[in-house]
Amino acid sequence: MSLPLVDREISLSRAAMKRNSLTFLAILIFLFSLSGFGGNLAQADSESVTFAVIGDYGSAQAGYSGAAAVAGMVAGWDPDFILTTGDNYYSQAGGDNQTAFDISVGQYYCDFLKDISTVGTFCPSGNASVNRFFPSVGDHELEDLEAPQEIIPHTYLDYFNLPGVDFASTTNNERYYDFVQGPVHFFVLNSFWGDPDRAEIPSAQANWLKTQLKASASTWNVVYFHQTPYSSGSTHGGTTRMQWPFAEWGADVVIAGHEHNYERIHRDGIVYFVNGLGGGFIYPFGSPIEGSEFRFTGFHGAQRVIATETSLTFEFHSIQNGGTLVDSHTITTPHVPPTPNPASVSGWRSPSGQTAISSSAGDNNGFEIDPVNAFSDDSLFALDMNSGTDISTICASPEKDKHRFTNFNLSISPGAVIQGIEVRLDALVDALAGLPRMCVSLSSNNGSSWSVPSVASMSITPVLSASEFTYILGGPDNLWDRAWTPGDFANGSFAVRITNMASDMDRDFSLDWVAVNVYYQAATPTPTDMFTSTPMSTPTDTPTNTPTSTNTPTNTPTSTPTNTPTNTPTNTPTSTNTPTSTPTNTPTNTPTSTPTNTPTNTPTSTPTSTPTNTPTSTPTNTPTNTPTNTPTNTPTNTPTSTPTSTPTSTPTNTPTSTPTNTPTSTPTNTPTSTPTNTPTNTPTSTNTPTNTPTSTNTPTSTPTSTPTNTPTSTPTNTPTNTPTNTPTSTPTNTPTSTPTNTPTSTPLPAGTPVLVSPISGILLSSLTPTLVWQESSPAAQRYQAQIATTSLFTSVIWDKNEAISSQPPDGATLQPGMRYYWRVRAFNSGDVPSDWSATGDFRTPLQSPLLRIPQAAQKLKTDRPAFDWTDVDGATRYQFQVSTALNFKTTLLDVTATNSSYQTLRDLPQNKVLYWRVRASSPDVTGPWSAARKFTSGNPPSVPALLSPANNSVVRNSMPTLDWSNSSVPFGVTFSRYQIQVSTQRNFSTLVVNRNQKGIASSSYKFGAKLSPNTTYYWRVRSFSAQGHFSAWSKVFTFRTASFSSDLSAPGDARSPNPREEIPILPPRVKPI
């Protein structure tokens, strides 16, 4: 069983649990109510997560500097992971197939990446321990397609491993996939129209999403992709074919990009976000579309999202001032999963019968090798080799191989209602060429008629994988376009037909297991709900009778000025709790609290407020307190709450309702916190109304003795020293020294600035960056910014004392290929500096070389050509490549040169179209590749091999003979001549002999004049064809002439030198690499 299927079955199991959760919860509540259990039900702990969303950001060059600022802002949030809405790479960013995403993604988000594949140097392997970066495919990722018919973004898929080795997805591809983090199930689509599984309705991709959304057991379902379904943008607008019924299928949120702006749209009961401000050029809006509630184009930015079990909060932050909140939206109601009647399932059932369909079925042998291997999940395969007899991609084509499986031993109870059918295929294919798929048809009459496979009915697989994967076709509510009865599934009636389909007849299909699962509703009636007549909500009224005041300490008169009578009216019985269910709680209203509540309203605290009004701190007691200290609180000391606590009419609490409303916790109606109300003479207390029972029985207990509701001794409750509550000397309440209220301290210090852009380590796209930092505080009056070539700032090249928070380094001359360091500090109005900011660093770019020789499309006459290109400022070396392919996936030459030319030292393939390119580098920077240039190699004769005189020998004949091997000649080439050169200089700057010798067999040369004695000579040979093509020079040999005191040796004789005559001979100098 493959891992994705395991996850899916777990997901389906969780979904089933979710469907039954309400019934289970009702049972628990009922049982707990019977037992008097007053606690809360235990809740499973759920992980909350914070993540960022960026879109249309993949540009790392001049004009797109927002990408770096967004990356810096997002890194400062330290989210758990990052989502992208596509366009992860633009061709303007530079690089090639092997380095593109390292430039656009790796250099910014290395700490979030894992399982990537690149030869780039920004982020060779990723710094994360598990993958924290989940992109979706944009349309610009498709710029690397090598042919118009190609529809898969190879460079994107080669770079990423999605969703990562630590995550499981229910798809067999990385173009669209899903994963779970915390309480959220994420679904990532490929909105490109040309995806093999399409991006429209109907399509295999849409069917996958619908099925998996329904199966999701997570609290929240978030769908994201590139081409937004809805937009008010005027550049692209909405993409109609992506306007899927996301809400109906179970999505809570849809996030997309493509339009380079930010928009929040409410449609179909859910929210759609357009998030395309990750770094590309900003696009304008047109007229707002229906449901558009917020639009923004001011600055680049990103979303920060906090997900918990109870809410999803989406914040959009712009990069302004290092991060400014622009929009916030919270969702608290998740999607409502469908709650159908619980269905019975047959479980996965295997066949025990099979037969190849032998007419109008391709090669008429179906799975011709071991078809019974498809009866069980055991990694043994039924094989269909070289499937089909034409290239049709129609399931019903008579040229496609077909196989029938029967006897699934399905037993469905009579009278059951069939709800859906699933067919499982564990399969693989030998290669993806021809877009291989499997089509499935069902029959209820032993093959007399079949359902018609279609993408819409979810009966055709996506493009099969080259490794085994589980495909689930149909679904719990999919009837395959026909009605079914239980008898249709009997052996002898029910059959499954599999058609193998591809446009390449060389495809080999392998099937590990075919199985069927039937969903049905049993005909037996469900038991009557035993809980429907029980008043389940009754116990929820019980706690409302308990005095909820928990704020006794706030009654302490800590601030006399707040003694305004804010709650005098609230002491009257304002309860509107009509006696719809008056509890039988006579004991609960007995005057147990009357004595304890009586002293709370005596003016015991009146004297204590007198000293608090004394201006003990004259400067701080600014006259703003004078009006509030007037005796405005005299009425508040009137014990207006005494009647509410004194049960002067016990009979009024006699219950008029049925006993079913009896609170289960009677004692809780006793104001147990009454004694703590003693010091609460300050009317700011919010507990006056809580002394009145908040139960639904108050109005029916109107006191029978209304006069008792009036204070029995109003004068005694009035503060006896009312005049003392007024400041005895109003002038003393005025600050005695107004000037002392003026600040005399030093200016506030300026905070330390925070660097925003360029983010540390970034490779700039130009030599004129803009330095951006977050303004430290309002106290900052000016900034000083510095750039240096060392991290200790021992060599400062730019020092700006009046810098602003978005400052180009005017006057600084930055050199290419260098690493620079920068920092900022702030000064306050007293010209006191803050600490220096953290040190940032950035690297300046190198230009790409311009190729000179060979020229574009030049047809060379040699297979060992010399290459030359322009120097690049700041470069210390060059990487040079030659390949047979324009994408340089394989190379013939990959060497490093220290100067701007290179001489090939070995033969290239003859008469071939080849490509070459160069890039410059320095110790800190690797520049972009030059544009590739095409040339055709030569087709010359082979390089001659020198024979005699032997290398480093001494020649005693003054007119020796030089001899070499005959050259070989390519097919169709005519040999012309040899060229012989002899020199006394190792570099052949001066020539003793420079002779052409015609004829392939004339592979020797005899000197016509005597050579000088005691002289070292160098010689070499090359060959030419009649077409003018020439080989490389042979290896250089050297010999030394003797003194020629006697010329006794035979012509051409040469022998090894006498040790006394030996002179060291160095090998010929070759141009440095």
CA distance 195 to 462: 10
Q: Tell me, what's the pLDDT at 318?
A: 93
Q: Which residues contact 936 (CB under 8 A, 6 or more apart)?
A: 857, 858, 859, 860, 911, 912, 913, 914
Q: How confident is the model at residue 531 (pLDDT cuts 50, 70, 90)?
A: very low
Residue 741, pLDDT > 80, answer no
pLDDT in tens, 371-387: 999 999 888 999 999 88
DSSP 1067: P
DSSP 187: E
pLDDT in tens, 383-404: 999 888 988 888 889 999 999 9
CB 500 within 8 A of CB 387: yes
Calculate the alpha carbon distances from 309 to 328, 902, 978 in Å: 18, 64, 85
Please classify residue 870 by burial: count the beta carbons closer than 10 Å to its beta carbon, then call 0-12 exposed, 13-18 middle and 19+ buried.
Answer: middle
CA-nearest of 1016, 981, 1009, 980 to 997 is: 980
pLDDT in tens, 216-247: 999 999 999 999 999 999 999 999 999 999 99
pLDDT in tens, 148-166: 344 678 889 889 999 988 8
- Least confidently predicted of 61-65, 549-553, 793-797: 549-553
Q: Angle at Cα 639 formed by Cα 637 and Cα 643, nearest 5°?
A: 165
Domain 344-521 classified CATH 2.30.29?
Answer: no
DSSP 102-157: IIIIIHHHGGG--S-----SS-SS-S-SS--EE----SGGGGG-SSTT--S-HHHH
Q: Tell me, what's the pLDDT at 418?
A: 93
Fold classified for 771-843: Immunoglobulin-like (2.60.40)
CATH number assigned to the domain covering 49-331: 3.60.21.10
Q: Tell me, what's the pLDDT at 60?
A: 65
CB 673 within 8 A of CB 727: no
Q: Tell me, what's the pLDDT at 229?
A: 96
Helix, strand, coil distribution of the chain in percent, nearest 5: 20, 25, 55
Residue of 158 and 535 predicted with greater confidence: 158
* C-beta neighbour count of 435 within 10 angstroms: 18
Q: Where are the alpha helices (DSSP H) in 20-65?
A: 21-35
CB 598 within 8 A of CB 646: yes
Mean pLDDT confidence for 286-298 = 92
Calculate the alpha carbon distances from 994 to 827, 915, 942, 1005, 1039 in Å: 78, 34, 20, 11, 17
- Take residue 722 and report the two structure tokens written for it: 């009312």
CB 456 within 8 A of CB 548: no
CA distance 274 to 467: 36
One-letter amino acid for residue 605 of the chain = S
- Least confidently predicted of 419-433, 604-618, 920-934: 604-618
CA distance 274 to 66: 17
One-letter amino acid for residue 904 of the chain = T
Q: Tell me, what's the pLDDT at 578?
A: 37
The total number of residues shown for the chain amounts to: 1073
CATH architecture of 851-936: Sandwich (2.60)
- Least confidently predicted of 28-37, 489-498, 801-810, 991-1000: 28-37
Q: Tell me, what's the pLDDT at 91?
A: 79
> What is the pLDDT of the chain when averaged over all its residues?
75
CA distance 410 to 345: 10
CB 804 within 8 A of CB 776: no
Mean pLDDT confidence for 7-32 = 38
CA distance 991 to 1019: 10
pLDDT in tens, 1-14: 333 333 333 333 33
Q: What percent of the chain has pLDDT over 70?
A: 70
Most confident of 745-749, 1014-1018, 1028-1032: 1014-1018
pLDDT in tens, 955-970: 988 899 999 998 888 8
Q: Which residues of 456-490 are buried (b: 16+ CB within 10 A; e: fewer)?
A: ebbbbbbbbbeebbbbbbbbbebbbeeebebebbb
Residue 306 sits at φ, ψ, to 5 deg, of: -110, 120
pLDDT in tens, 559-612: 333 333 334 333 333 333 333 333 333 333 333 333 333 333 334 333 333 333
pLDDT in tens, 754-779: 888 887 788 887 888 888 887 767 77
Asked if the bond preceding 949 is cis, omega within 30° of 0, the reply is: yes
Domain ranges of the chain: 3-35, 49-331, 344-521, 771-843, 851-936, 946-1061
Task: Tell me which CATH homologous superfamily contains domain 946-1061.
Answer: Immunoglobulins (2.60.40.10)
Q: Which residues contact 748 (CB under 8 A, 6 or more apart)?
A: 777, 779, 828
Q: How confident is the model at residue 879 (pLDDT cuts 50, 70, 90)?
A: very high
Mean pLDDT confidence for 905-922 = 88
Residue 691, pLDDT > 90, answer no
Q: How confident is the model at residue 1057 (pLDDT cuts 50, 70, 90)?
A: very low
Q: Tell me, what's the pLDDT at 1013?
A: 92
Domain 771-843 identical in fold to domain 946-1061 = yes
Q: What percent of the chain has pLDDT over 90?
A: 38
pLDDT in tens, 603-656: 433 333 333 333 333 333 333 333 334 333 433 333 333 333 334 333 334 333
pLDDT in tens, 444-471: 999 999 999 887 678 899 888 888 888 8
